[in-house]
Chain A
Amino acid sequence: MTWVLANFGQIWRLTLDHIALSVPPILLGFLIAVPLGWIAHRYAPFRGAILTLGGLLYTIPGIALFLSLPVILGTRILDPINVVVGMTIYAVALLVRTAADAFDAVSGDVRQSSVAIGYGPVRRFFEVELPLAGPVLLSGLRVVSASTVSLVTIGSLIGVSSLGYFFLNGLNRRFPTEIFTGIVGVIVIAVVFDLLLVLIGRLLLPWAHVARQRERRGRGAAA
């Protein structure tokens, strides 16, 4: 505990670095995966290609991806941008399937009703399909958020600053407290992000929460 207090400045700095590396992949992943998922849902010929590519990209081990990106992007090998791009690729790979499933799950009747009362494609997407796909997209985003926050630590192996630094430094110094601090820090960030996402979900998708409560109550009554 004394170590934590004495090094609070460094812990805080690395926490901020960690957040700075985690947030862009989560946001970019969402912004890229939603349109791709919609295309996979809407245009059957692209579906197999998009989802298969996502699955294959997701298979590449993280450290291998971080090391390969400089070759493809022409960035320096120790550039933090490699970690951000790599994590974004994972986020897209993971979310695109969720997004396709989420749009698939929007009832065809509802979609047709919106066409019948005169919704154009753009308005239909933003006002009907996207909100109805929202709860599933949110659940996918929560998975992506947790795995991104945890995976960013791998970047420390190639010298990208994050809470993962405490793992390597703690190992070198044979100092478990430091490693513990890193692990706890990562989990705290993951939990805070998760709570934020749930909160955003409550604000943007209030009906999803109500529906779930009603279902739970219904199940309780049946039992």
Chain B
Amino acid sequence: MNSFLGALAWLADPANWAGDDGIPVRLLEHIGITAVAVFIAAVIAISLGLFIGHTGRLSFLVVSTTGALRALPTLGLLVLFALWLGIGIGPVIIVLVILAIPPLLAGAYAGVESVDRATIDAARAIGMTEWQILTRVEVPLGLPIIVGGLRSAVLQVVATATIAAYLPIGGLGRYIFDFLPLRRFEPVFAGAILVTVLALVLEGVFAAIQRLAVPKGVRILRGSPAALGAGRPARVEPAADSDGADSGGADSDRPEYGGGPTSSPPASHTHSHPTQ
């Protein structure tokens, strides 16, 4: 417990909150790296996911990228790109973008895919153009799942940005890798605490956004393909009847978990491991 108190004392020391390697700077670096990577990945993956979901073409891309990437060790990818492209922020961003694409792609695809066919047919019948169907029907209805993909991507990138500090670039991971070799464990633990708090705060923020993203008059049923983000018709009887148990609980809307009753591993593709 001493090292924990030491870490807290280190965190409380005003000297560690100032200067180029102070906590605010490292925190902003961490958030900045995460934001840039997720933004680039979102532009690519969400537009692609919406296209795939709307047209139904190229859907194999969703399954193949998300399944295969789970076993790919991030650390290996980071050092490989650093070696090819040189040490710096560029290779790190590329790897983080690669990592963020599968959950975003799967979220966007599953979000659009989750919309009831009858609703889309109705929209088409009243004369909406394909673009209007996408932007006014499919995206609003699928938004909670799309945001769920964003949430997974952000968590994964925040965690991976921590180990990317090994290379070395900025971010909170620097406290871990700068001081671990010196066996000064207070800043190491402090870095671990800061990264954890950042991840938990972002998780809370995105959980709230995800709840706000549910359109009025719509409720995502737990156990339904939509809630699981699996984007597939249920194979096992959905557990919609046990919905009362935790609807509104902090966990009732986590589509990125994906491993629900309807999903075999390729189907649970919205989930990628966020913790590196």
Q: What residues of chain A have their CB less than 8 Å away from a CB belonging to chain B?
A: 41, 44, 47-48, 51-52, 54-56, 58-65, 67-68, 70-71, 77, 90, 94-95, 97-98, 101-102, 104-105, 107-108, 135-136, 139-140, 142-143, 146-147, 149-151, 153-154, 156-158, 163-164, 166-168, 170-171, 174, 176, 179-180, 182-183, 186-187, 190-191, 212, 215
Contact = CB atoms under 8 A, between A and B. Distances in A.
A55 B250 contact: yes
B276 A151 contact: yes
Given A59-B155, A64-B195, A147-B273, A167 B79 contact: yes
Interface stretch (B52-60, B67-75, B104-112, B127-135): B67-75
List the 4 shortest-distance A-B pairs measured between CB atoms, nearest first.
A105-B261, A104-B239, A190-B71, A61-B159
Contacts of A140: 259, 268
Contact of B237 (A105, A135, A153): A105
A142 B158 CA distance: 24
13 contacts: A55-B250, A55-B251, A61-B195, A61-B276, A64-B162, A67-B176, A71-B4, A98-B257, A105-B223, A105-B237, A147-B70, A150-B70, A212-B264
Most buried by B among A58, A90, A164, A179: A179
A61 B70 contact: no
Given A77-B185, A176-B84, A215-B235, A153 B71 contact: no
Contacts of B218: none
A157 B260 contact: no
Interface residues of B, number: 65
Contacts of A44: 245-246
A180 B83 CA distance: 12
Given A60-B275, A151-B273, A143 B159 contact: no
Given A62-B159, A151-B276, A186-B73, 7 more contacts: A58-B274, A62-B275, A68-B189, A70-B3, A90-B273, A101-B259, A182-B73
B76 A143 contact: no
B112 to A, nearest CB: 21
Contacts of A77: 185
A52 B259 contact: no
B162 A97 contact: no
Interface of B: 1, 3-4, 70-80, 82-84, 155, 158-159, 162-163, 166, 173, 176-177, 180, 185, 188-189, 191-193, 195-196, 199-200, 203, 223, 235-239, 241-242, 245-246, 249-251, 254, 257, 259-261, 263-265, 268, 271, 273-276
A105 B236 contact: yes
Given A61-B276, A140-B259, A179 B79 contact: yes
B259 A154 contact: no
Contact of A182 (B76, B199, B263): B76
A68 B77 contact: no
B246 A94 contact: no
Contacts of A149: 71
A146 to B, nearest CB: 4
A67 B83 contact: no
A45 B185 CA distance: 40
A60 B203 CA distance: 10
A63 B163 contact: yes
A139 to B, nearest CB: 5
Contacts of B274: 58-59
A121 B139 CA distance: 46
Nearest to A97: B257
Given A51-B251, A67-B192, A56 B200 contact: yes
B229 to A, nearest CB: 13
Contacts of B191: 64
A102 B260 CA distance: 7
Contact of A179 (B71, B80, B199): B80
A90 B271 contact: no
Contact of B276 (A41, A63, A143, A212): A63
Contacts of B84: 176
A107 B241 CA distance: 11
B245 A151 contact: no
A177 to B, nearest CB: 11
A87 to B, nearest CB: 10
A70 B6 CA distance: 14
